[in-house]
Amino acid sequence: MNPMPKSAELDQAANDSRDNEAAQQSAAAASAGAESSAKNPAERSDKPLKALDFDVPERVGKYVLGDKLGSGTCGVVYKARDEVLNRIVAIKLSPIGKPDVSTGQVPGAQRAFMTEISAAGRLKHPNVVTVYDAGQQDDLNFLVMEYVAGHSLKAVGKGQKLLPPHRAIEVIMECCKALDYAHSRGIIHRDIKPANIMMGRDGTVKLLDFGIAVKTTGDDATAVGPTLGTPNYMSPEQIRGKNLGPASDLYSLATVLFELLTGKQLFKAKKVKELFRIVVGEIAPKLNDIRPDLPIELSEIIARALNKMPDQRYQSGEAFAEALRPLAEQLRIMAHRSEHQRSFIQRLRRLSFFQEFNDGEVAVFLNHAEQRDFYDGDLLIGEGVKTREFSVITRGVVLVRRNGVLQRVLGEGDTFGEFGFIHDEPSPVQVSALRGVSVLTVSPAFLGELSPKTHLHYYKRISESLVHKMAVGDVLTPDLLLEDA
C-alpha cells in the first residue's frame, strides 16, 4: 500500500478537482451522440450554464444547429447538420475565454477546449470520436465531431440496468484499443469515465472528450500537472499530482468495468477530500465479493488493474484486453446456454478431466466438441490408425489394448487419443467400448480458435494426461474389468 499523501496535497487535489467539475458543467451528460429531448434552438430555455453560459446561435458557418445533446468538459454539445456535405454531426460550442489582465492566463474551459482540439484532432481511430472541423465564430469556439447515435455508458452503469457481463467486458476491450492508440501518440486522456464512453446503436464503442488530456512526449509534454479529472475514476497517482503514464488511464478504465459489472462505483464518500483519501489509501473491493456468480479470474484481473502501484498494473491496453479476452469469450457462450446445458456443464466439471476448468472454459470446449455414442464392442480407435482426435468419456466404460493385451480400463472423466492429438502419429493402442459409451471429441483445430490463455490451459491439461499414462505404463488395476468380464 502507498503511504498516505500529506493533507496539503489532498486539499489541493480536492480543490483542483472541484474547479474541474465546475468547468465540466454536468459532464455526466457529455457525449457527441447522447440523445436528449432538448428543444430546438429557437425554443431553447436551458438553465444557466455558469462559466459556459452564452447565447446559442441557430447556425455556425455551414452547420445548422438542432437539439442539445449534453454538456462536456469545455462546452455544450448540439446535434447539427452540415449543409455542404449533407450529414449529421455533433458540434461543441464554448465562449472564447479572455486572458486575465494581470496574469495573462486564459480560463480553464478555454484551455480545455484548445487541448481537446489539439489532442482529438491528432487521433484517427475507429474507437475514438472523429474530429471534422474546428474554429471560431463571433465570441464562440466550435469543434465539429462525428455524431454517434446511441448513449454513453452512464446509461448502463451506476444504478442502471446492467449490460450482460460479456458485453461489458467487450466494451472495455474496445476502449483498450482506443487508449493504446492515444498512448502510442503520447496522449494520456485523464478523464476516463462512463459518460466519456459512447455505445452506438450499431454496437460501436467510441472514446470522447480529451479536454483535460496531457502529453507525455515532445517539447510541450505536460504529464505532470494539476489534479484534474472526475474523482470517482481517478488513479491514486493522478490524485496526488504525480507523473502519469498509460497505467493511470487503465486504472480509470478498470473502475468503469467494475461499475458496469456491479452497478456500484468503486469508492464512495460524501466529500471529495475523503474520497481521495480512500482511493489513495484503501484496497479496492473485490468483484467476487459482490458478484460471486462471475469467474474468480475476472475478479483477479480487475484487482491487478486497480493496484495502487502503477508498475504493478497492466502496462498497455493490449495487455489488459488480452487478459480479459478469454473471460469475454466464455461468458458470451454461457449467456446463450439453456438451463439444461448449464446443468450439463456443472456435471462435466465434476469429471476428473474438467475439474481444473471454470464453467466458461467447459462451455468453450462444448462449443467445439462433437458428442458421439458407441455400443458394446464398437471400435473407437484402431491400433496403428492415425487420428488427431482427443476424447473425454462422459458415460460408459472403455477398454484399451496393445497387441491384443488389455492395458487399461477407462471410465467417466477419463480420456483417450492424447498421443495422436499431440504428436500426429498412429495410435499405439486399440480403444473399444465395453459398455454403451458417450464421448466428447475435439480435433487440434479447436485449440487454434481459443484465446491464448484458454488454449494453453487445455493443451497443458491434455499433455499432463498423456504424461501420466506414459508414466503408469502397462499397469492395470482391473476391478472394473472383473465386474464386467
DSSP string, 330-399: HHHHHHT--HHHHHHHHHHHTSGGGTTS-HHHHHHHHHH-EEEEE-TT-EEE-TT-B---EEEEEES-EE
Is 16 one of the catalytic residues? no
In the set 82, 191, 359, 414, the catalytic residue is 191
Q: Which residues, listed in sequence order, are joined to residue 410 by a DSSP beta bridge?
A: 398
Which of 195, 182, 193, 176 is closest to 235 using CA atoms? 193
Tell me 426's DSSP state.
Answer: B
C-alpha cell at 147: 455524431
Question: In angstroms, rounded to a whole number, what is the distance separating the alpha carbons of residues 269 and 252?
Answer: 17
One-letter amino acid identity for 204? T
Residue 145 cell numbers, joined: 465531431
Nearest Cα residue to 318 out of 179, 126, 192: 179
Q: Of 249, 171, 248, give the one whose Cα is nearest residue 209.
A: 249
Q: Please, are residues 194 and 254 in contact by the beta-carbon 8 Å criterion?
A: no
Interhelix angle 296-305/317-335, nearest 10 degrees: 160
Which three three-digit cell numbers place residue 269? Answer: 464518500
Query: Residue 340 to residues 234, 319, 334, 346: CA-CA distances in angstroms?
Result: 43, 35, 12, 10
- In this structure, what C-alpha cell is assigned to residue 370? 462433437
Q: Is the dihedral of CA 418, 421, 422, 426 positive or negative?
A: positive
Neighbours of 211 (CB within 10 A): 33
Structural contact between residues 153 and 170, judged by C-beta atoms closer than 8 angstroms: no
Asked if residues 149 and 200 have their Cβ atoms less than 8 Å apart, the reply is yes
The catalytic residue positions are: 191
